[in-house]
Amino acid sequence: MNRILIVDDSAQIRKSLREILEKHNYTVVGEAGSGTEAIKQFGLLQPDIIMLDIIMPQLGGVETLRIIRNMSKDVKVIMVSALDSMDRVKECMKAGANHYILKPFEETKVIEIAQKFTAADITR
């Protein structure tokens, strides 16, 4: 249970998250730069965890989360955002998010949160 889909409109953020996760033996099964692409990728790849940006063009993260929640109650969704508004955090949790990471993120925090949603501690 460590297959992860990374969703962010920033290629640099996707690359950074991928490097952190793969360094700790997580399998990044795909990346998406938009909510629409995330929904397609989710349907095809069936990841265990989605790391989902909130602010994206066209279909934002909260809307994407709601659609994915209608598709699956089991996937774990970790919102990733530079917005630290408590109202935004509450909105995400109400929509079905499992956790929230603030940008800029630290490697230790990303792994700590990812570990909460994996069957066992798989870091080296």
Q: Is the pTM of this model over 0.75?
A: yes
Q: Which amino acid is at 118?
A: T
Please report, in tens digits, the pLDDT of each residue of the chain (124 residues total): 689 999 999 999 999 999 999 999 999 999 999 999 999 999 999 999 999 999 998 899 999 999 999 999 999 999 998 877 888 888 999 999 999 999 999 999 999 999 998 854 444 3
Query: Residue 61 and residue 84: Cα distance in Å, rounded?
Result: 15
What structural domains and CATH numbers belong to the chain? 3-115 (3.40.50.2300)
Cα separation of 63 and 61, whole Å?
A: 5
